[in-house]
């Protein structure tokens, strides 16, 4: 049983080593923040925030470390162009009467070259050359933001005007559709029904049959007269049909 326990410890230790994680260091870092400074008595961060302006005096990285080991610490600041702005070694500030301390490193912003490097910055914290923390913050220009807001408002007003035009055009189209629907309904009312058409066709077929019978049984001039009468009747029927369609 003891051999299995020892084997498990060895496996876990080897796994952590392969992952490049220092168990001691991972346990030592308790908290971190971007801030303006820290209290001289409690060592707690002051003015915490990741967004600053060009006129901000400075910004710093604050890290709390439990049982700080005797090792080397370094903080590297990287500007928005991915260039190192500052690279410096730092030491632990011990909390009096406690088993923890902090490291704090800051850069000045106002009236330095940093105030003109707007965008997203990065700050990295190393213990014995191993990267333990990478955090980001940004420097923004308030006037630029106000201009962007004004542009957004102007775009919004333009969209409202376009929307009003589209609504007017939509109303005109709806009116045209209504007129077309009314015209279609009126046209439908003028067209005869299917039963009218069937009745008319029956009458026409009956007249055709009578004409054919008369022509077959009569060959004289009188027959042709009767035929002319029948043809005239057929023409009348057809005219009546088309009259129903236009009624």
* DSSP-based three-state secondary structure for 55: coil
- Asked if residue 240 has pLDDT above 80, the reply is no
Q: How high is the pLDDT of residue 242?
A: 58
Q: What would the mean pLDDT of 6-16 be, rounded to a whole number?
A: 37
Q: 10 Å Cβ neighbour count for 91?
A: 11
Q: How far apart are the C-alpha atoms of 241 and 200, rounded to whole Å?
A: 7
Which pLDDT value is given to residue 236? 62
Q: Are 167 and 110 in contact (CB under 8 A)?
A: no
- pLDDT for the residue numbered 22: 39
Q: Give Rg (Cα) of the chain.
A: 48
Q: Which residue has the higher pLDDT, 223 or 179?
A: 179
Nearest residue to 120 (alpha-carbon basis) of 60, 61, 79: 79
Position 23 pLDDT exceeds 50: no
CATH architecture entry for 26-140: Sandwich (2.60)
CB-CB contact of 80 with 117 (8 Å): yes
Q: Which of 124, 16, 33 is nearest to 78 (CA)?
A: 124
Give dist(CA 33, CA 46) in Å, integer: 10
Give the C-alpha distances (Å, rounded to integers) separating 148 from 22, 106, 118, 139, 152: 46, 30, 15, 16, 6
Q: Which two tokens stand for residue 60?
A: 């710093």
Confidence at residue 18, expressed as pLDDT on a 0 to 100 scale: 36
Q: Where do the domains of the chain lie? A: 26-140, 144-190, 191-247
What is residue 8's predicted lDDT score, i.e. its pLDDT? 36
**C-alpha distance from residue 245 to each of 39, 190, 234, 237, 241 (Å):** 98, 6, 17, 13, 7
Q: Is 123 exposed, middle or buried (0-12, 13-18, 19+ CB in 10 A)?
A: buried
The pair of structure tokens assigned to 14 is 């080897």
């Amino acid at each position: 049983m003891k051999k299995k326990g020892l084997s498990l410890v060895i496996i876990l230790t080897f796994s952590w080593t392969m992952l490049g994680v220092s168990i001691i260091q991972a346990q030592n870092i308790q908290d971190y923040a971007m801030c303006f400074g820290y209290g001289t008595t409690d060592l707690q961060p002051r003015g915490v925030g990741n967004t600053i302006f060009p006129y901000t005096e400075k910004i710093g990285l604050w890290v709390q470390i439990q049982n700080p080991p005797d090792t080397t610490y370094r903080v590297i600041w990287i500007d928005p162009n991915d260039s190192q702005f500052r690279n410096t070694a730092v030491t632990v500030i011990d909390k009096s009467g406690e088993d923890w301390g902090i490291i704090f490193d800051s850069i000045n912003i106002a009236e330095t070259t940093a105030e003109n490097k707007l965008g997203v910055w990065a700050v990295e914290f190393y213990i014995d050359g191993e990267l333990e923390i990478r955090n980001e913050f940004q420097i923004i220009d308030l006037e630029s933001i106000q201009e962007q807001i004004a542009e957004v408002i102007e775009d919004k007003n333009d969209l409202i005007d376009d929307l009003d035009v589209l609504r007017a055009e939509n109303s005109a189209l709806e009116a045209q559709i209504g007129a077309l629907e009314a015209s279609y309904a009126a046209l439908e009312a003028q067209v005869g029904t299917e039963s009218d058409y069937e009745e008319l066709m029956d009458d026409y077929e009956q007249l055709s049959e009578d004409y054919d019978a008369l022509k077959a049984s009569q060959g004289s001039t009188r027959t042709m007269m009767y035929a002319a009468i029948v043809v005239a009747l057929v023409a009348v029927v057809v005219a009546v049909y088309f009259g129903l369609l236009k009624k």
